[in-house]
Structure 1
Amino acid sequence: MDAEAAYVRQLFTEVLSSREALACDAVLLSGGLDTSIASETLKQQIGSQLKTGITVTIDPAHNKLANSSGLFTQQPQDIVYARQIAEKLRLDHHVLTPTLDELFFTGDRSTLELCVRVRQTFDGMELRNAVVIAHALKYAKSIGCHRVCTGDGADELFAGYSFMQGMSEEDLPKYTVNMVKTMTFCAVPLAKALGLEVWSPFLDPRIIEYATARGNRRDLKVGQFGDKAHGKLVLRRAFPEVVSAGRTKEPIECGCGTTVMPALAELVVSDGEFEDEAREALERFGVVVRDKERLVYFRLFRRVFLDGGGPDRIGADACPDCGFGLRDGTSFCSVCGLYPARPITK
């Protein structure tokens, strides 16, 4: 192990020995590199206190319309890696297999509504991921968990995203520093709404400082590991023994299976419904609903917010599609998902 990887390993060991870490009794086990590092290192520190792993996966066999329509091209991969981690750590592994219908359409949509309400959004990219986290957290609450460990922050800090991996040696460090100022994660506010606590080692100030200072170099974050080029390189070198050390980054929606939602909404929502409701949204609320998946979420957003008040709209610095204010420092509208919602400046 090289010196930088050894330093990172020691730093994470210190973070995962903190009071916040020691209070964790469960982990949201996606099976990705981030939760693999967090859970395997945490287990070494607190032993039997970490008892529970929770994984959400969409089983194609239980989703007849999506499966029969050929929307699933492969079995979601989170469960494959999550099972290996749970077995290695001897966790009580709770595998949740909700159907897409239950999460998004005619079933108990309280989980989706919770995400819409807490995140104040009808953006598909946000909700395809958030609903998975919310479903897992609701279950954690139901079985008596109190503090749940997640892998939030690793992609943002260590170039886990493919678009970051393509940046130059000059641009990547600058982008990482700016990312720290604007990054948000759904797990913390969702957990708070449910009366739970969420903790991620990657969001510890010591890790953030490393990733934006000493460790803010492209050659530490992007490069060859095994037979492939990856992001989060220094993390892989620091923890080469973890189950998912060589796993390629997958967004939550891909790993668990909710990535088929845009295509499924095309099948479930008729053209007539979409045209009528999109027209009403524009005429009555001044909101552009761009596709059928967004319409599924907008129906809840409208009921929760627009029909009875809601997030304030502001003047000049507002999204041209939905009229809601944009967060400082970002060109992405967190409400409707429009990008770019303001001119991009370098």
Structure 2
Amino acid sequence: MTLNPQEYEAILPKARALVNKVVQRNMADAMLFSAGTDTQIIAYEAVKYKPAIPCLTMHFKHGNPADTEYVKKMVAFLKLNHETHIFGREEVLGNAPKVVEALKKFDPMEIRNSMPVYIGLTILKEKGLKSVFTGDALDELFGYPWQFHLSEAEFAKRQ
């Protein structure tokens, strides 16, 4: 479904209010924070209710994350209580069996995507934090950038 500008303007405040209500009702002890729009939206709402919410960013030391500068900008803008955990191949290999067990499947893409989340959740659990916002699912709600240019028919084919 493609929205025209008027429809978009009409629905945006409702979507924002809904996200705000969900965050408020499900306030977590901490947050895994990335430069993704999903976690930025959740963090923006969360700090309204819990200004000092602990936020953890995962950084693979053998990678070249393009979003590091965006994380820094958003941390400063939102005044987040933030830290970064840098992890390497050893930590990935040590946790791989646990991630496969948690996922209950061996899908290389899912394992790769879930690894930093698993490590981050483990770190936050060790700190005594019991619930964590991850930002997962907002992309599914608001869409991915690669989807925005697709017609409804093209979008349906790719689902």
Q: Write the distance in 2 (CA, Å) between the matches of 1:157 and 1:175.
A: 18
Kindly state the Cα deviation for residue 171 of structure 1 after the two structures are TM-superposed: 5.6
Residues 218-272 of structure 1 show CA distances to partners (whole Å, capped at 9, x for unaligned) of xxxxxxxxxxxxxxxxxxxxxxxxxxxxxxxxxxxxxxxxxxxxxxxxxxxxxxx
Q: Write the distance in 2 (CA, Å) between the matches of 1:30 and 1:157.
A: 18
Residue 135 of structure 1: aligned partner = 119
TM value normalised by structure 1: 0.40
Q: How many residues align?
A: 152
Kindly state the Cα deviation for residue 153 of structure 1 after the two structures are TM-superposed: 1.1
Q: Write the distance in 2 (CA, Å) between the matches of 1:83 and 1:145.
A: 23
Q: Write the distance in 1 (CA, Å) between the matches of 2:137 and 2:86.
A: 26
Residue 8 of structure 1: aligned partner = 15
Structure (1 or 2) with the greater helix fraction: 2
Which residue identity does 2:56 align to in structure 1? I
Which residue identity does 2:21 align to in structure 1? E
Structure 1 runs of 4+ with >6 Å offset = none
**Residue 52 in 1 paired to residue 36 in 2?**
no
Residue 66 of structure 2: aligned partner = 77
Contact 1:154 1:160 survives alignment (8 Å): no
Kindly state the Cα deviation for residue 129 of structure 1 after the two structures are TM-superposed: 1.0
Q: Equivalent of 2:85, from 93, 96, 117?
A: 96
Residue 169 of structure 1: aligned partner = 152
Q: Write the distance in 2 (CA, Å) between the matches of 1:85 and 1:134.
A: 23
Which residue identity does 2:116 align to in structure 1? V
- Please give the secondary structure, in 2, of the residue aligned with 1:97: strand
- Please give the secondary structure, in 2, of the residue aligned with 1:55: strand
Q: Write the distance in 1 (CA, Å) between the matches of 2:20 and 2:73.
A: 22
Residues 106-133 of structure 1 show CA distances to partners (whole Å, capped at 9, x for unaligned) of xxx1x21111111122321111111111
Contact 2:60 2:88 survives alignment (8 Å): yes
Contact 2:54 2:82 survives alignment (8 Å): yes
Q: Write the distance in 1 (CA, Å) between the matches of 2:89 and 2:79.
A: 29
* Alpha carbons of structure 1 residues 7 and 85: separation in structure 2 relative to 1, 3 Å: same
Question: Between Structure 1 and Structure 2, whose CA radius of gyration is higher?
Answer: 1
Kindly state the Cα deviation for residue 98 of structure 1 after the two structures are TM-superposed: 1.0
Residue 33 of structure 2: aligned partner = 29
Structure (1 or 2) with the greater strand fraction: 2
Query: Unpaired runs of 5+ in structure 2?
Result: 1-7
Residue 86 of structure 1: aligned partner = 75
Residue 150 of structure 1: aligned partner = 134
* Alpha carbons of structure 1 residues 175 and 142: separation in structure 2 relative to 1, 3 Å: farther
Q: Write the distance in 2 (CA, Å) between the matches of 1:51 and 1:157.
A: 24
Which residue identity does 1:3 align to in structure 2? A
- Aligned CA-pair RMSD: 2.5
